[in-house]
Chain A
Amino acid sequence: MDFELDDEQTALRDAVRRLLASTYASIDGRRASTAKAPGWDEGMWGRLAEMGVLGLPFAEADGGMGAGPVEVALVAEQLGRVLAPEPFAEAVVLAGGLVAAAGSAAQKEQLLPGVVDGTTVAAFAHFEPGAAAVAPPRSVTAMQDGDGWLLDGVKEPVLHGAQAGLLVVSARVDAGGTDRTGLFVVATDAAGLDRVDYPTYDGTRAARVTFASTPATPLGAAGSDASDVLALVTAHAQVALCHEAVGAMATALDLTTEYLRTRKQFGVPLKTFQALTFRAADMYVSLELARSMALWATLVLADGDPDAAVVAATRAVVQTSAAGRHIGQEAIQLHGGIGMTAEYAVGHYTTRLTAIDQLLGGRTAHLRVLADHVGEYDVVDPLAV
């Protein structure tokens, strides 16, 4: 049991931190990057690719860096600390991760180099209107059509769905009366594909993606059920997002304590009031508990048992979701009115934490998954996964 980074990991973290600081030293950086297309800084994306960051989760045989969940986690945390809008967790860990995990050798060879070198930004179209985050695809269906497949239905919201150069899509496949989950690749110029772009409340972009008899290529072997691989790659993306949230929470707390030290009311700094400092202390407790859980989930992912990985990610989401809400809400409250303004940084942290929470699926949904299995074991033993 060891939570320390090795020298190479520390060097990677520091390099990413320095690179991000060049653009995101203040909230103005995020504001500038999200104000123009595609919604992140393409120069930064290119530099992250040059540094090897976009190839971290992929095997060297696939053109990646052959690193693992630990490296992914520390990058995600750095992105979260400065609210960098570059879609690392969504495009690389999730969409790219699905290609790497489910794609055939030929597909990986064709698609992954662009993900790794930053020239192709992938998106995963999975959420469906009205569906829970933790649910198999329902309304988007895939039908076999001769040698190919056709997709029908609507995916929404699809993060950076209109900006993506590669769409990975989950769909329900009718397999003789029973439903299977299929994963497909759709070309961005495919017939019957419609993408309507819009901004999200946290400054990023999402799209409504409509498929009308849209040709699609199965990712990997046609006809196989992708539920397990989807669950595992989703777990990897969730844990990365948890780390992004931990980074954001840490900064939200830093901003809050700095404000309590410097802001004066009634002629004294706010930190004079114990009612406020105690609440900051509780924020710290939430942060450290969430950090512990995210770190552990990362180590479980690295350990390799897919079932354990999915459960660990679920626990990390439960913890992160609660911590993100707590810290996000208190950060605004302890700032007072200034925390509500788009001008000041802290509100953006709350906004992004809220978005991460929703993308993770939220505490209640994940608690429900855990509750279904609570009778199957005596105690949770983190050392005997």
Chain B
Amino acid sequence: MRLRLSEADAAFREEMRAFFTTQVPERIRSVVAERRELSKDDIVETQRILNAAGLAVPAWPAEWGGRGWTSLQKHIWHEEMQLANVPAPLAFNTSMVGPVIATFGSQEQKERFLPATANIDIWWSQGFSEPDAGSDLASLRTAAVRDGDHYVVNGQKTWTTLGQYGDWIFTLVRTDPDAPKKQMGISFLLIDMTSPGLTVRPIKLIDGGQEVNEVFFEDVRVPVGNLVGEENKGWTYAKFLLGNERVGVAPVGSTKSVLARAKQLAKDRLDDPFVAARFAELETELLALELTALRVVANSADGKPHPASSVLKLRGTQLQQAVTELLVDLAGPGGVASGADDGSAVPQWARVATPRYLNYRKASIYGGSNEVQRQIIAGTILGL
């Protein structure tokens, strides 16, 4: 057992820290630090900077831009990026569809999509959830029926995050409605969002934002060449994707960063023992989470996830939400002034505190709700 990073890993950490804090424009990082909304351009600009430096898709196969890093290096990369308030590479591209295409796609698909995906020349959206298929994703009904060289797609997807920017959408569609198990009739299909018959409709959320959408498919014709892997094997690819997604959702670095900023903002209130205790408590809980993440990282070298990994999503989102809640409390009645302009006497951080708090209620729902995580822990780890 050893506490410290090896010299090589410590140097790697310094290298990442230096890059993220000097090569990504302060203008963009301050948007994250101040918890304002990132524009599409902010996200694309950042990812292109990262991609040019080989830092956008380090986990991909080397041939497509991967770096062959250890699990610990990937963890350090991710943490330092969050601590520096750098917008993470677009998850739909880099940790969802990219690895699926790289692992299960044809050579032609790899060549066509992977470089463009790494550089956000294509902005991908996710078409998994449906109005009647949430946690029970396998009950999805959007149908793809073979017609010559095309699939004809009909149905509806929902909760499509940032779908308003999407160029392409990766979808799970039902290709065999008669399969003996509902998981067995699903395929993984890539769809150009400019296709006729495809429409995107925004869903307004409780924080006033419009970050998710509904996507409707009416006789959308999709070339069969856009099927990833084999027909009716889509559930396997989806599970692979969701496994990757879960690893990325223990937002330790970003939560630490928000908590540190909150402490700065509340500096003159730390002599209130109750306020100070809440910081001490959250910092300690976050430390325990970070250490658990490090244990998982240290033990996942053989490709098998550490049993404790399921703790990360569950606890990670709870703490992410707890920190947003602390900011709401620090903002007090001033937090109501969310619609005020920059002439407001209420500081910017207090004005965004409550919309952010409301927005982050999503965290314990997406990526496998926390109830699904408990189900996994109870079933897979505890044998219940």
Contact = CB atoms under 8 A, between A and B. Distances in A.
A288 interface: yes
Interface in B253-304: 256-257, 259-260, 263-264, 267, 270, 273, 276-277, 279-281, 283-292, 294-295, 298-299
A382 B381 contact: no
A3 B257 CA distance: 25
A371 B279 contact: yes
A302 B1 CA distance: 10
Contacts of A18: none
A375 B260 contact: no
B72 A1 contact: yes
A13 to B, nearest CB: 12
Contacts, number: 153
Interface in B77-96: 83
A367 interface: yes
Identify which of A288, A378, A379 gathers the most chain B CB atoms within 10 Å of its CB.
Answer: A288
B2 interface: yes
Given A70-B1, A289-B288, A293-B291, A261 B377 contact: no
A370 B315 CA distance: 22
A25 interface: no
Contacts of B277: 367-368, 371
B116 interface: no
B5 interface: yes
B223 to A, nearest CB: 44
Provide the main secondary structure of the chain A interface. Answer: helix
B349 to A, nearest CB: 16
B283 A293 contact: no
A284 B72 contact: no
A171 B298 CA distance: 45
B276 A296 contact: no
B260 A379 contact: yes
A292 B291 contact: yes
A371 B273 contact: yes
A300 B288 contact: no
A1 B5 contact: yes
B260 A378 contact: yes
A281 B377 contact: yes
A280 B284 contact: no
Interface of B: 1-5, 9, 13, 72, 83, 256-257, 259-260, 263-264, 267, 270, 273, 276-277, 279-281, 283-292, 294-295, 298-299, 308, 311, 314-315, 371, 373-375, 377-379, 381-384
28 contacts: A1-B2, A1-B298, A2-B1, A3-B295, A4-B1, A4-B299, A253-B382, A271-B384, A277-B375, A277-B379, A281-B375, A281-B378, A292-B295, A292-B308, A293-B284, A293-B287, A295-B295, A299-B2, A303-B4, A315-B287, A319-B284, A367-B280, A371-B276, A374-B263, A374-B270, A375-B270, A380-B287, A383-B13
